[in-house]
Amino acid sequence: MSTHLNSLPACATTRLLRTTLHDRVAGVLIGSALGDAIGLYTEFLPAAHAAEAYPSRSFTLHPCPTPFKLDMHRAPKEPGHWTDDTDHALLLLLSFLHTAGTTTEDGRAPPLPTQHDFAARLRVWVTQGFRPLDTMPLGLGRLVASVVATQGFESEPERVAREYWERTGRRVAPNGSLMRTHPLGLMCLWREESEAFAVAAAISRVTHVDPRCVLACVIGTGMVRAVVRGELQSEGDVDGLIERAVEWYFSEGVLEGQELDLKELWRHVKPDGGLEDLRLDEHAAIGYVYKTLGSGVVLLRMAIRETTMNQGDLFHRAGLFEELIMDLVMRGGDADTNACFAGAVLGGYLGYSILPDHWKKGLRDEKWLLGKVDALGEILGLKDGSYDGKEDKDTELHGGKPALSQEEMEVRWMLLQQATSKKMEDAAKPVSSKGPGWSWSLPWQPRGKGKR
């Protein structure tokens, strides 16, 4: 479908609806980044330790940011920074923007990200960080590190990822592909739902081929697309989307030798006890993909219930994003990833204008990210203006900058280590033995507790 306004669906041609849809698109991208940044406060903490570290159960990013529970996991960052979760999502957005524009020679929609282009961008991130903003590749997990480092990854990423999955016993199903796929739902806003499902499955398999990971990405991408389109107005709508995603998966997405337990899926996306049943801080499984998927689905269900019961109460609606995200992150576990996905879904449902100002104003690089939101809005026909990705240096493989050498990266790691150590020394507080483990390593060495 063309992205020119005169060929958009009739429902998108009025200025009011275009503005509303653009606000939801911004809500997805800013909401996910905010969830990521807020989730960093409690990432890897058990719920009991999170409550002890942050007894007020509230965070602010502006004007006076709430300080982190300072340990070697959080010390390299500052309040308001997003993490690798948002970086990887933005790699997909930049891949799309690079070949996109408000005018095309043949009038067709721009191509969706490919496995090969994303694999190349992911390898650059792993070795050199997020180049457009020159941030370091913090948060590299075991699966992504192992797959990306394997010879042949850039040319045949899915084959390499599948061989890793088989070599590790077909048991690993972390959340590292789900955390990045929400921009795909926006790119497919005017495309068929099945096309959104297909690109989500393909991009998951760049690193994560376990069927649980693939299906979670199919559901998550379809959900983001649907909330922005205004199609999820009831919990029945949510169930219907999940059922369609499962049906598509079994008809189009299954690879030979893959099995899937649907009862386990539904236990996570429709738990009787809500978030409590997800056991998000379960030590051995905090990065399990269904926990992250369930986090987003459960919070969307809660938002639908609240908005249905309080129709017309704008004040209540305005506080809903913060209330639900806080409930989620204070449960600890892989809080940044859980809140990144949930933030994308809630942000699309509620819209950017509803997101709390004292979080938005403290989000690092929000102005840069809003520029990409506007570019996407122009491409989708939701905002006036012109955009040509080929002229946007940020969308290039290295963000329009020279590639960094290994020696240059080693210097950057050393400087970051020194700054982190000084921050810990200045705090003059010993790191609790109960806190999350963290050790310094070069970017090819996996860190964290097996997630991603």
Distances (CA, A) of 374 to 27, 87, 102, 196, 204: 12, 18, 12, 21, 26
* Residue 338 contacts residue 300 (beta carbons within 8 Å): no
Residue 288 bridge partners (DSSP)? 174
Is 85 annotated as ligand-binding? yes
Is 150 annotated as ligand-binding? no
Is 426 annotated as ligand-binding? no
* Residue 431 contacts residue 424 (beta carbons within 8 Å): yes
**In whole angstroms, what is the distance from residue 394 CA to residue 135 CA?**
13
Is 337 annotated as ligand-binding? yes
Residue entry with tokens 């996570």: 268
Is 313 annotated as ligand-binding? no
Is 336 annotated as ligand-binding? yes
Q: Which residues are annotated as a binding site for Mg(2+)?
A: 83-85, 334, 336-337
Q: Give the residue numbers of the binding site.
A: 83-85, 334, 336-337
